[in-house]
Structure 1
Amino acid sequence: MQILAISTIFEGNNLLRLLSGLFVTIEISVISIFIGTVLGLILGSLWTTGNHLIQPFFKLYLEIFRVVPTIPLLFLFYYIFPRNLNINLSSMQVSILVFSLWFAAEFSDIVRGAIQSISKNQRENAYTIGLSMFQTYRYVLVPQSIPNILPAFINLSTRIIKTTSILLLISVTDVITVGQQIIEANAQDTLVPLLIYALIALFYFLINFLLSQLSQRLERKFRKYE
């Protein structure tokens, strides 16, 4: 019975389908993390400029994506907004949009805290030698905040990757969706769900473990230059 259940993974193109679904998961995660990082870095930096006109906007944006769960956000962007605004977005585009905005909101707060933890003398010294505000952030504040940002950045990235497991709710053909399809096609074998989800769990573990190892190496590297 166990041998038959294991063979299900290798029947036909099941393994290839799972790997293809895993690629979709990774693709959505990587694109979302990249866009969210750029946007979060900009928003987090702007938040620390002391501009009272933009701070309320940032706080509202941050609170929305902190308080509202991801599933309602996916439904809003996939079912409600496109219908009311007459916009046609694919499930993958919606996934990237929602996860990017979520990542940017969380990451902007991380960037804000890291920059504000740097001594004010650093900013004042940069202005003294003639650096503009943009140059001060680019060459002084942001580089010095990276060691403090990195652990939280990796933790947030792993959260994004793990949360992609809910994308089957809007019909994204990710690794969870493919796994569920294989399970349903082999409903007579009670061991198949255990094996499929164990394999999927292994995929997620390997990805997040590699991210964790990379984070530790980068953190040690940056600490050497402090």
Structure 2
Amino acid sequence: MLDSGISILFQGRNFIRLLEGLSVTVSISIISVLISLVLGFILGMIMTVKHPVIQVITRVFLEFVRIMPQLVLLFLVFFGLTRSFNINLSGEVSAVLVFSIWGTAEMGDLVRGALVSIPRHQYESGMAIGLKRVQVFRYIILPQTFRRLIPLALNLVTRMIKTTSLIVLIGVVEVVKVGQQIIEASRLTNPNASLWIYGTIFFMYFIICYPLSLLASRLEKRWNG
């Protein structure tokens, strides 16, 4: 019984199809992460500006993205925008857009927290030895900010990778969708297929996410130790 279940992985192109689906998941994740890192860093610096209007706008944006479930945002973009405004968005583009918005908000808050955690006397000390404000930011503030930010950013990346599994619900043929197709096609001949297919998908996500999580933990211990 178990042999017949695991054999489904290697029938035809099933395993290759899972890898191809995983490549779609990874591609969407990488693009979303890169956009989020760039826009999030800019947003984080904007969030440190002491202006009431800017603070209100950025806080509303952050809270809106945090309160709204990613699945609802996916449906809002993929189904809502396309039908209401006659915009032709593919599932992949919709996924990148939604996860970039979410990642930008989360990354922006991480950057803001890292920047404001730098003691004020660090700025004052740099100015006292004759450095210009730009030089203080470049040579004193940014290196400390990155050391505090990188472990948190890596944890955010793993969250984004795992959350991309939601895109199966808008029809994107990624690894979970491929797994469902294989299970459905073999549900009569291999009733144990779901165990092995979903188990394989679990290990695929684990192999991708665990090294990032481990790296984040080690960096945090090394830099905070």
Same fold (TM over 0.5): yes
Cα distance in 2 between the residues matched to 1:57 and 1:136: 28
Which letter does structure 2 place at the counterpart of 1:12? Answer: G
Question: Does structure 1 conserve the Cα–Cα contact (< 8 Å) formed by 2:78 and 2:170?
Answer: yes
Q: Deviations over 1:158-214 (max 9, x none)?
A: 111111111111011110000000000011222100000000000011111111233
Cα distance in 2 between the residues matched to 1:55 and 1:156: 23
State the shift of 1:154 in Å.
1.6
Question: Does structure 2 conserve the Cα–Cα contact (< 8 Å) formed by 1:48 and 1:116?
Answer: yes
Cα distance in 1 between the residues matched to 2:192 and 2:76: 36
Once the two structures are overlaid, the 10-residue window that deviates more, 95-104 or 138-147, is: 138-147
Query: In the alignment, which residue of structure 2 is the partner of 1:120?
Result: 120
Query: In the alignment, which residue of structure 1 is the partner of 2:108?
Result: 108
Query: In the alignment, which residue of structure 2 is the partner of 1:197?
Result: 198
Query: In the alignment, which residue of structure 2 is the partner of 1:168?
Result: 168
Query: In the alignment, which residue of structure 1 is the partner of 2:6?
Result: 6
Once the two structures are overlaid, the 10-residue window that deviates more, 44-53 or 33-42, is: 44-53
Question: Does structure 1 conserve the Cα–Cα contact (< 8 Å) formed by 2:152 and 2:216?
Answer: no
Partner SS state of residue 52, structure 2: coil
Q: Deviations over 1:57-83 (max 9, x none)?
A: 110110111001011100010011122
State the shift of 1:223 in Å.
6.1
Q: So what's the TM-score if we normalise by structure 1?
A: 0.91
Query: In the alignment, which residue of structure 1 is the partner of 2:140?
Result: 140
Cα distance in 1 between the residues matched to 2:116 and 2:59: 16
CA 1:89–1:136 in 2, change beyond 3 Å: closer, same or farther? farther
Q: Deviations over 1:2-52 (max 9, x none)?
A: 222211111111111000000111111111111001111111111112132
Matched, 1:55 2:55: yes
Cα distance in 2 between the residues matched to 1:58 and 1:13: 48
Counterparts of 1:178-217 in structure 2 under 5 Å? 178-188=178-188, 189-216=190-217
CA 1:138–1:57 in 2, change beyond 3 Å: closer, same or farther? farther
CA 1:125–1:50 in 2, change beyond 3 Å: closer, same or farther? farther
Question: Does structure 2 conserve the Cα–Cα contact (< 8 Å) formed by 1:147 and 1:223?
Answer: no
State the shift of 1:216 in Å.
4.2
Question: Does structure 1 conserve the Cα–Cα contact (< 8 Å) formed by 2:155 and 2:216?
Answer: no
Runs of 5+ consecutive residues of structure 2 not aligned to the other structure: none
How well do the aligned residues superpose, as a CA RMSD in angstroms?
1.9
Cα distance in 1 between the residues matched to 2:95 and 2:57: 23
Once the two structures are overlaid, the 10-residue window that deviates more, 107-116 or 208-217, is: 208-217
Percent of aligned positions that are identical:
43
CA 1:220–1:37 in 2, change beyond 3 Å: closer, same or farther? same
Query: In the alignment, which residue of structure 2 is the partner of 1:98?
Result: 98
Which letter does structure 2 place at the counterpart of 1:99? Answer: F
Runs of 5+ consecutive residues of structure 1 not aligned to the other structure: none
Question: Does structure 1 conserve the Cα–Cα contact (< 8 Å) formed by 2:151 and 2:219?
Answer: no
